[in-house]
Amino acid sequence: MLLILAHAYDEAARALADRWGSDAVLLTGLDLRRARWGLEMDRDGRVRAELASADGTPLPVTGVVSRLGVISGADLPGVHPQDRPYAAAELTAFLTAWLDACPAPVLNPPTAMALNGPAWPAEQWADAATVVGLRVEVVRRLGLTDAPDTADPEWADAVNAHVVGGTCVGDVHPEVGEKLSALARLAGTPLLSAVVSGSAADARVRDISVWPDVADPAVADALAVAVAG
């Protein structure tokens, strides 16, 4: 069974679940609280992660797609408003431990910053991208008093590229695809998304994130292969 963890408003995750059909279970919001999560440590210090439905039926997880950054109070509408911040923090901490112990492939694995990989700002992504040889669009921040006169120009030949488990999906030059895959390895994130300025070998990249478009059929198919191990 493929497990998809997502926020309730994540339509791409719903599209992925629909595409995978009965092979997948999508858990959002209150589903996270209703499911029965198990986390046990044996005498040798090995941690075991298990999952069951609300009625106790075991759910054998063969792969996980994590679309959750952190759990917030907005994800827990059934919890008393005053208790939501605490409940959200506790659930985030528990899911971090559960995903870390899960024996099945997890894309993306949790970090100390987020449940689905590194929550890096644009500047940190840009710095890492240059390390692997990518050309990066200048990152601009709007100040309170010195905002630029014009917005960043759009790229006429912009291409969306997605790295899924070491495979680059998108109409980009093979060299760019290889460097994006190298960036994903450097960041420790099997899932990566970026906007590329075109299909040339010297294309620039921007808008790097851990949120690939899983509604894209090519991405969804690559995900199925990646989480299968």
Neighbours of 128 (CB within 10 A): 19
In which residue ranges of the chain is pLDDT below 70?
139-153, 229
Please give the pLDDT value at position 144: 54
Say which residues have a Cβ less than 8 Å from residue 147's Cβ, sequence separation at least 6.
none
Please give the pLDDT value at position 42: 74
From start to end of the chain, where are the E strands?
A: 2-5, 24-27, 36-41, 47-52, 63-66, 106-107, 135-136, 159-164, 167-169, 191-196, 204-209
Please give the pLDDT value at position 100: 93
**Per-residue model confidence as pLDDT tens digits over 141-187:** 665 555 554 455 678 889 999 999 999 999 999 999 999 999 999 99
Nearest to 4 by CA among 151, 194, 223: 223
What is the pTM assigned to this prediction?
A: 0.87
Please give the pLDDT value at position 34: 82
Please give the pLDDT value at position 56: 83
Pair type for strands 191-196 and 159-164: antiparallel
Q: State both tokens at 75.
A: 């994800």
Please give the pLDDT value at position 125: 96
How far is 110 from 125, CA to CA, in rounded Å? Answer: 17
To 10 degrees, the CA torsion angle through 82, 112, 99, 217? 100
